[in-house]
Amino acid sequence: MKDNFIKGFLYKEIYRNEINGYMVGLFKIKDNNIDYDDDMIHITGILPRLSEKKEYILYGEIVYHNKYGKQFNVNSFEVNIPTKEEELIVFLSSDLFPIGEKTAKKIVDTFHEDTINKILENKDCLQLIPRLGENKINRIYNVLVDYQSTSNIVMELTKLGFDMKDSLSFLNKYNNKILDTVNNNIYELIDSDEMSFVKIDEIALGMGINEDDERRIKALIIYIMKELCFNNGDTFLFLEEISNMLSNYVSISNEKFDYLMMKLVKNKKIIIEDKRYYLRKFYEAEKYICERLCFLNDMSINSNVSIDKYINNKEKDDKIKYDEIQKKAIYSGVNNNITIITGGPGTGKTTIVKAIVNILIHEKKLKKDDIALLAPTGRASKKLMETTGISASTIHKYLGWDKDTNTFATDEYSPNGQKYIIVDEVSMIDTLLMEALFKGIRRDAKLILVGDYYQLPSVSEGQILKDIIDSDCLPVIRLNQIYRQSEDSYILNLAYDIKNKNISEDLFIKKDDYLFISSDNDNAGSYIKEVVKKAIKKGYTDREVQILAPMYKSLNGIDNLNIMLQELFNPSSKNKKEIKIRNVTFRERDKVLQLVNDPDNNVYNGDIGYIEDIIISKDKKIINQININYDGNIVEYTPDKFINFRHGYAISIHKAQGSEFDMVIMPVVNSFKRMLYNKLVYTGVTRAKKSLVIVGDSNAFIYGINNDYVDNRKTTLKDFIINFYNE
């Protein structure tokens, strides 16, 4: 059974997203089977550009938007070609065609209700009509072909298994050649990154393509390489890894595998160097980053601003004392073309960045607009802004990232113009994002990279900060002295003990700001619950307390902890509306975590917000909507965007990077053992500003401290930099 429909014409297109095809328009209704009396209605949906001269049948449903009222949400459509003789005469005599009503009537009188099909089957049939020349015959035929083509192509794609969004996306990209591409080699569509290999492969196999088809295996190899690189953080692979993984999907001979690998190399999909197999994008990205880093390092220094006056005044006014390493870092940041500053918590990284910015503005007389302060996350950029007093942004926002195309507005041909680029939390930046950053800044911009060498590397491919520092070819300032610490504080000492793998009884002895609670896996949740209850009694809120864990799906994983913590921090109430999403209850005032970058709404992966309002449909006439407040920025979520957030009472340690919380609680139990490693534990501990509670097993804690798993990433940026200076 088809959906409800409306038939008529597009009156006006109001809005269109040129990337994904989403549009809002005003539609004039001729006929419908819905409960709607007006002759005009707003339509929404993913649609091609509709002609105001063509008649359409739109299938979908009436929805109610709290701001715009009744709308028709379109699921599918077709161009309506009339079949009744009276309608055909009107249709053919419209201004779409080069003929009048009399000629139109002659055509319909000749071919009757089968007029359109007859013309499309053989346009020469129109030669039977007196005084209808070849030119007009061709124009009539071409209009009818064009009239049908869009809807026919979309219908054919949807029959194969493509959804409407993907069908229109590919139609926009490949035009009328999309069906030829699908039939010749559907796996070519993977190059566009519009659809996953898994989805395309499912359609391809449904079309009858054999599992050992050469086209499929080549696409499968690329897919496997992408998955392996992402899962392990690698930028290259060894041949055996690829071959072993491929054998899980299809059985082919070694000879055929080698042959197909060479074909991919020949087609420049894969690059081989020193028995390392790269996806082209990672090889080129690491090479480009290396070139830009070394270019800046070798570029002559044109400025030599003294920092002595600033340092003396600052030390006198604030009664502080900069050590020689900190002075060196400030001087290098102000004057050198590239500076890398690394150090753990409390070593003065923030103080140095603030000093550099102040000197650039007050001593070097730069405008604030000449300085770009950047960070990988929204919270880290906000911290930069609070520290320096000037505007800061995420790297994605600065580069003009478009989430629909996964492209950046800036590149090497149209870079941003800032003279100084200061980037914090560099350990979180992956290879492709660093490449995009270098392409988005002017070649002679002075670059200051700041980060903690010992924190977790990026979630995605690469270990940029580690490779740069380990190359030992670029100017690196290492901050080792801890300053941000009172005499009775233990958290920072603990962090450095973890970093240095100093195992002692102090790890388990209660301090004023640190507590280790011994617990097995079954009881950890209960202990965490009691700790949180006590914190709430002391006046702590969910804004100040953050639970960090390494896993989602376990007894003490993030999912279960969030359920428990929601009832502690935000229990159900008659005054708070609730909604169930994927079997998880969300209610007003809930703490939530954004999971994807959304530059259009200025909210980014890792941002924490609070549900301000839930609008619930009771009779399906209203679209469910959730409004989330991110520090004053209210973002509206419709059902298609509900997957973009989750509860934020407990989050992963990866998501917590770039943030600090007054109180951190970390479960470290035996069931987490395979996920525990030194940098993860270190990163979690360093998120705590005032209070840290670890709940778990002492052996699991020690295991995590001693485990160097994350250092095994395969990358070559370090080697590229070294080779650059050795050649």
Convert the pLDDT of each residue in 363-390 to its tens digit. 888 999 999 999 998 888 888 998 898 9
Check residue 151 and give its pLDDT.
63
Residue 134 DSSP label: H
Query: Please, what is the end-to-end C-alpha distance for the chain in angstroms?
Result: 70
- How crowded is the C-beta side of 637, counted as CA atoms within 13 Å? 29
Residue 413 DSSP label: T
Check residue 192 and give its pLDDT.
73
Check: CB of residue 685 under 8 Å from CB of residue 657: no
Residue with the bigger pLDDT between 20 and 382: it is: 382
Residue 603 CA to residue 281 CA, distance in Å, equals 27
Residue 273 CA to residue 718 CA, distance in Å, equals 15
pLDDT band at 614 (very low <50, low <70, confident <90, very high): very high
Structure tokens at 500: 């240095």
Check residue 76 and give its pLDDT.
80
The answer on pLDDT for 439 being more than 60 is: yes
Residue 360 DSSP label: I
pLDDT band at 487 (very low <50, low <70, confident <90, very high): low
Q: Which residues fall within 8 angstroms of residue 262, CB to CB, at 6 or more apart?
A: none
Neighbour count for residue 388 (Cβ, 10 Å): 21
Phi, psi of 637 (to 5 degrees): -115, 120
Q: Please name the amino acid found at residue 7.
A: K
What pTM value is reported for the model?
0.77
User: How far is residue 156 CA from its own chain's centroid?
Assistant: 31
Phi, psi of 263 (to 5 degrees): -65, -40
**How would you classify the pairing of strands 371-375 and 392-394?**
parallel
The answer on pLDDT for 329 being more than 70 is: yes
Per-residue pLDDT reduced to its tens digit, 492-513: 889 989 999 999 988 999 999 9
Helix and strand totals (H; E) in the chain: 25, 27
Cite the DSSP H helix spans in 389-429: 395-398
Q: Which helix (H) or strand (E) holds 691?
A: strand 688-696
Neighbour count for residue 570 (Cβ, 10 Å): 20
Per-residue pLDDT reduced to its tens digit, 663-709: 999 999 999 988 899 999 999 999 999 999 999 999 999 999 999 87
pLDDT band at 1 (very low <50, low <70, confident <90, very high): very low
User: How far is residue 394 CA from its own chain's centroid?
Assistant: 12
